[in-house]
Amino acid sequence: MLDNKIVRERLLNDFDCKASQVDGVVDKISKMAPDIYAAFESWFNTGVIQEIEVEGYTVASLLATKKNLNIVGAYLTLDWLRREPQRAKLALSQPEIANSVITKKIVK
Amino acid sequence: MSLFGTNDIRNDLGDELLRRPEIPETKDYSGEKSFFEAFADALRAFIDSLREALGGESSSEAREVNETLAEKASDVMAEVFDERTLREWGTMSMEQREAKLSEYYSKLGEALGINARGVIIEDCAVTAGVGVLGYNSGDGYLHIDYRNLQDPSRLIDVLNTTTHEARHQLQVEAIADPSRFPEISPGLIAEWEHNMRNYDNGAFGYESYYNQAVEADARAFATDVINGYIAKLGL
């Protein structure tokens, strides 16, 4: 099992995870299905992606089709596919509708 | 002496080039569905797939979707994309399709009370990323990928994307001035504002992006509008 503090630091330093978001991400990682977590841990420690297929998706296929997803997110998405396969597959199969409106400041 | 060096153009150009291409046999389309019928099937399948995945109409997607606004929007969709338009969509030019989409967005803007300035058809793969159907630039303009307009079978994606993005525009304008949208609860607007300030772009998992308030709301709204549209057209 990975040290969550080390995971947290790496998310903040290497993946530009927001401080407001990082603890939630660490929590999700710690709760991943055992086989997916093992694959994630292997990548985390070695840098080598150990592919695992869930509902027809792999880390590589997710990274190839979702432009904003990083590798941590790819493993978390595989876990989502394991927990809610029908919903996750629907979401992933839908074409992406980007929301650039969030880049604008909300002015009152 | 001709342009080609001899007076026999057939000799110069060759029989291969001059041979009249074979006209293909007429295809028998009897028994096949028209675009209109195929579109109706696709619309129903779209709604059914959402219901199946999301567990029916009372799913977590349908959080506080405003019925009055969805009803108005589906009226607009039925008015602009009426049966005649659906039947002609497959043979319309890009300019005609763009005009129809602009008409829909303009009237949708009036119905929702938002600043719907126009629709820009562009290559979203370049401007927003490969696979992106469209985006809202926050200034009243919606940007739709040209491929969706080019391929008549992607009309559903066009309608869904346009309606989805219009809802995002409404979210932004409601946050800026809630008094303009009394039918939307202050609690929901506050939730949108909180989400917009902490928007999840999906880097750390598609689940969190998909489930966040503004995206779930926009999806639910567009689904309800299309659902109403199907009922109004009797598809």
Average pLDDT over residues B201-218: 92
Please list every residue in chain B whose beta carbon sits closer than 8 Å to the beta carbon of residue A25: 204-205
Written as six digits, the tokens of B227 are: 């659902």
Looking at per-residue pLDDT, the higher value among B148 and B33 belongs to B148
Edge-to-edge strand order for the sheet containing B141-145? A96-98, B132-136, B141-145, B118-122
Residue with tokens 């927003």: B128
Residue B129 touches chain A, beta carbons under 8 Å: yes
Measured in angstroms, the CA of B52 and the nearest CA of chain A are apart by 8
Q: What are the residue ranges spanned by the domains of chain B?
A: 68-233
Phi, psi dihedral angles at A38 (to 5 degrees): -60, -40
Residue A32 touches chain B, beta carbons under 8 Å: no
- Report the mean per-residue pLDDT for chain A: 88
Are the Cβ atoms of B201 and A68 closer than 8 angstroms? yes
* A41-71 residue pLDDT tens: 999 999 999 889 999 999 999 999 888 899 9
| Residue A104 scores a pLDDT above 60 | no
Number of C-alpha atoms within 13 angstroms, CB side, residue B194?
A: 9
* A9-25 residue pLDDT tens: 999 999 999 998 999 99
